[in-house]
């Protein structure tokens, strides 16, 4: 079974997908981390976000892997270098939407993602899993939440890492990213027609995981 978990930034996709995969003993695929790793490498190599052809080549040649940890989280590696924290900085967050919008980049990344998902029993999160990467997924969930709540979650996540960003600025960045992701020509952010839309604004993590698990059980 494949569970496709799509939605905008801050909706809780990564947390819910990881916990759901842990509940069933399945593989968790964080496709957002893949695009973030590409963005980090491009920044380090001086490749501008607008250079689609160069970014596509970098994506095709990029070596990255995930290492699951006992607590259900995972480390992210670019080659032999761990980049788990480096790909979550505000700089990477601001650049990842533009980097991931290029057709050459998405073609390369989708191919890698499909290879990783082919064995089945995967929970994959992103913005186009149910619409582009794996449209035949047995379960499609579109997680969302209000802009202020998503900004609050992201702000608290960064504060825990010593990065302080005002709520108003974070809300503006979230809104700008939503607009960019939804309006791009290639694989825009949108819910698949057959996806279950789940608003997590007033739900805690356990409630969301339980709700998604009920959907999974109904499709087994």
Each residue of 193-216: pLDDT tens digit? 999 999 999 999 999 999 999 999
Output the pLDDT for position 185.
86
What CATH number is associated with residue 121?
Answer: 3.40.50.300
Res. 161: pLDDT tops 90: no
The backbone region for 189, taken as left when phi is positive above 0, alpha when psi lies in -120 to 50, beta otherwise, is beta
Looking at residue 73, its pLDDT comes to: 82
pLDDT, average across residues 65-94: 91
pLDDT at residue 71 is higher than 80: no
Q: What is the pLDDT of residue 156?
A: 92
User: Which pLDDT does position 186 carry in this prediction?
Assistant: 87
Cα distances (angstroms) measured from residue 184 to each of 62, 110, 199: 24, 16, 23
- pTM for the model stands at 0.87
What pLDDT digit, counting tens, does each position of 128-149 carry? 999 999 999 999 999 999 999 9
Residues 191, 150: Cα–Cα separation, whole Å: 17
Residue-level pLDDT at 69: 84
- Residue pLDDT, tens place only, 81-122: 999 999 999 999 999 999 999 999 999 999 999 999 999 999
What's the CA gap between 143 and 3, in Å, rounded? Answer: 12
pLDDT band with cut points at 50, 70 and 90 for residue 68: confident
CA-based Rg of the chain, rounded to a whole angstrom?
16
| pLDDT mean across residues, the chain | 94
Residue labelled with tokens 């020509």: 185
Please tell me the total count of domains within the chain.
1
Domain that holds residue 160: 2-219
Q: Which residues of 53-201 form beta strands (DSSP E)?
A: 64-68, 74-78, 81-82, 122-126, 139-144, 196-199
Quick one: pLDDT band at residue 178, thresholds 50, 70, 90? very high
């Amino acid at each position: 079974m494949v569970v496709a978990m799509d939605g905008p930034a801050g909706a809780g996709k990564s947390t819910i997908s990881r916990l759901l995969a842990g509940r069933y003993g399945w593989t968790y695929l964080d496709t957002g981390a893949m695009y973030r790793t590409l963005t980090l490498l491009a920044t380090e190599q001086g490749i501008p976000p607008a250079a689609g052809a160069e970014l596509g080549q970098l994506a095709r040649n990029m070596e990255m892997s995930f290492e699951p940890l006992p607590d259900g989280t995972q480390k992210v590696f670019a080659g032999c270098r761990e980049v788990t924290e480096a790909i979550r900085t505000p700089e990477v967050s601001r650049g990842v939407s533009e980097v991931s919008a290029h057709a050459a980049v998405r073609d390369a990344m989708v191919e890698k993602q499909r290879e990783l998902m082919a064995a089945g029993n995967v929970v994959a999160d992103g913005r186009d899993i149910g619409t582009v990467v794996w449209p035949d997924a047995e379960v499609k969930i579109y997680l969302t939440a209000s802009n202020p709540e998503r900004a609050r979650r992201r702000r608290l996540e960064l504060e825990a890492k010593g990065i302080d960003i005002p709520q108003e600025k974070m809300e503006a960045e979230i809104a700008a990213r939503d607009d960019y992701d939804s309006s791009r020509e290639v694989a825009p952010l949108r819910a698949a027609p057959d996806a279950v839309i789940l608003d997590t604004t007033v739900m805690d993590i356990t409630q969301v995981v339980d709700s998604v698990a009920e959907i999974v059980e109904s499709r087994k």
